[in-house]
Chain A
Amino acid sequence: MAASDEGARGRSGSTRRQFLLGGAAAGFGAVAALGAEHVLDRPGAAAQDAPVPVHGTETVPFHGVHQAGITTDAQAYATFVALDLHDDVDREALGRLMRILSDDAARLTQGEAALADTEPELAVAPARLTVTFGFGPRFVERARGAAPSWLHPLPAFEIDRLEPGFSDGDLLLQVTADDQLTVSHATRMLLKDARGFADVRWTQRGFRRAHGSVAPGTTMRNLFGQVDGTANPVPGTADFDEVVWVTEGWMAGGTSAVVRRIHMDLDEWDTVGRAGREQSVGRTQATGAPLTGTREHDEPDFAARTDAGFSVIPEFSHLRRARGVDEGRHDRIFRRGYNYDDAPSGDHVSDAGLIFACFQADVDEQFTPMQRRLAELDLLNRWTTPIGSSVFAIPPGCEPGGFVGDTLLS
Chain B
Amino acid sequence: MTTRRTTTTLALLLAAGSLGLAGCSTDDAAAEATSTGTPTTAADAVSIQDAWVKAADEGMTAGFGEITNGGEDELTIVAASTGAAAMIELHETAADSSGEMSMTEVEGGFVVPAGDTLILEPGGHHLMLMDLADPIQAGDEVTFTLTFADDSTTELTATVKDFTGAEESYEGDDPDGDHDTEHEDS
Contact = CB atoms under 8 A, between A and B. Distances in A.
Interface of A: 1-9, 11, 15-17, 20-21, 24, 29, 32-35, 37-38, 55, 57-61, 64, 68, 71-73, 93, 95-97, 99-100, 103, 106-107, 110-112, 115-116, 118, 124, 128, 192-193, 195-197, 235, 400-401
Contacts of B180: 1-3
A5 B2 contact: no
B25 to A, nearest CB: 20
Among A3, A7, A58, the one with the most B-chain Cβ atoms within 10 Å of its Cβ is A3
A33 B10 CA distance: 8
Contact of A401 (B4, B20, B64, B93): B20
A115 B52 contact: yes
Given A5-B100, A7-B101, A17-B66, 5 more contacts: A8-B94, A9-B123, A15-B119, A59-B6, A107-B16
Contacts of A235: 1
Given A21-B10, A106-B19, A107-B17, A95 B101 contact: no
Interface stretch (B32-40, B73-81, B136-144, B148-156): B136-144
Contact of B8 (A17, A34, A58, A401): A34
B2 A72 contact: yes
A3 B102 contact: yes
12 contacts: A1-B93, A60-B2, A61-B2, A71-B1, A97-B138, A112-B17, A115-B52, A118-B165, A196-B55, A196-B137, A196-B138, A197-B138
Among A17, A57, A196, the one with the most B-chain Cβ atoms within 10 Å of its Cβ is A17
Contact of A1 (B2, B52, B66, B169): B169
A24 B6 CA distance: 13
Contact of B117 (A15, A35, A192): A15
B185 to A, nearest CB: 11
A64 B3 CA distance: 13
B124 A193 contact: no
Given A21-B13, A60-B3, A116-B52, A2 B121 contact: no
Interface of B: 1-10, 12-13, 15-17, 19-20, 50, 52, 54-55, 60, 62, 64, 66, 91, 93-96, 100-103, 117, 119, 121-124, 126, 128, 137-140, 159, 161-170, 172, 174, 178-180, 182-183
A50 to B, nearest CB: 18
A73 B93 contact: no
A15 B66 contact: yes
Contacts of B124: 9, 11
A1 B124 CA distance: 11
Contacts of B139: 93, 95-97, 99-100
Contacts of A103: 19, 159
Nearest to B8: A33
A220 B77 CA distance: 57
Given A38-B7, A68-B2, A118-B166, A4 B123 contact: yes
Contacts of B54: 116
